Amino acid sequence: MRFTHSMLGAAALAALSVGATTALAAPASAAPNTTPQKVCGSGYKTVNSAAVGSLGTVYLAYNAANGNNCVVTIRNSPGTIVDMSAWIYVPDTNEGDDDYGRYTSYAGPSYVIGKGHCVDWGGAIANTSVQVTGSNCASLKEHRTTRTR
């Protein structure tokens, strides 16, 4: 999927504003002990994370064997269906992936090849979101900017 970073933000806002009245996807039904590795698959190791307020965490995982990054947003306490998202974007290649929907436990996985590139990633639970830009740049100097809404 090809999209720009501004399109990603617009899609996030649209998905979160529509979510209260429209079910965008089937709810995930994960056990309370869901981990990024269980959602992303074997070979993925968590390399970064960001809290989504007190509601949960967005995890960035990486698979060294294939160069793929995976992002998943996991709630601290699964429960009623809420708007959730997990997204990742590589500015250098203009490639990204996202999952926006109404879920009980987690959003994602969202995958993109990011080996050798900085990645932007984030997610949301209900009305709280987090975005990390320019992170996990491999050999490049890493910088991190986190914005919470």
If DSSP states are collapsed to H, E and C, what string results for the chain?
A: CECCHHHHHHHHHHHHHHCCCCCCCCCCCCCCCCCHHHHHCCCCEEEEEEEECCCEEEEEEEECCCCEEEEEEEECCCCCCEEEEEEEEECCCCEEEEEEEEECCEEEEEEEECCCCCEEEEEEECCEEEEEEEECCCCCCCCCEEEEC
pLDDT category at 32 given cuts 50, 70, 90 is low
What is the structure's pLDDT at 2?
A: 38
pLDDT of amino acid 138? 66
Q: What is the mean pLDDT of residues 52-60?
A: 97
What was the pLDDT predicted at 137? 84
pLDDT of residue 149: 53
Burial 80-92 (b: 16+ CB within 10 A, else e): eebbbbbbbbbee
